Amino acid sequence: VGFFVCGSHSDVQHSHLEVHFMCGMIISIFTLHCKNIVTDMRISKSFLKKSLTSIVFIATFGSATTINIPADYSTIQVGIDESSSGDTVLVAAGTYVENINYNG
């Protein structure tokens, strides 16, 4: 059972992955993303009859999004122009005839 609190914000996204090994070791990976400033963040994890080897906790803050070309924007350049630091621009297979400025 995982329990996450990110201040009073309701836009918290989290994912959890457990990797089990035949020797009985378990690695637990948490990823937490909150779009607003975090004022209070706690995490707890309870295990029932499990031998936890390690926990990896990844927290990111900001509004990172994935922009899909051409689903979100018809050109790669507009997708780049509309992206912010930390965003991902994914380009679907196809032919795109345009000049691209990566801005850095």
Give pLDDT tens digits for 10-33: 445 555 566 656 555 555 555 555
- More confident call, 6 vs 77: 77
Most confident of 1-5, 44-48, 50-54, 100-104: 100-104
Boundaries of every domain in the chain: 2-61, 64-98
What is d(CA 36, CA 63) in angstroms, rounded to the nearest whole number? 8
Cα 18 to Cα 5, 6, 27, 28, 31, distances in angstroms: 20, 22, 6, 4, 12
The angle at the Cα of 12, spanning 11 to 16, to the nearest 5 degrees, equals 150
How many of the other CB atoms lie within 10 Å of CB of 32?
A: 20
Quick check: 82 pLDDT over 80? yes
> 23-32, 37-46, 49-58, 95-104: which has the minimum mean pLDDT?
37-46
What are residue 95's phi and psi, to 5 degrees?
-110, 125
pTM: 0.41
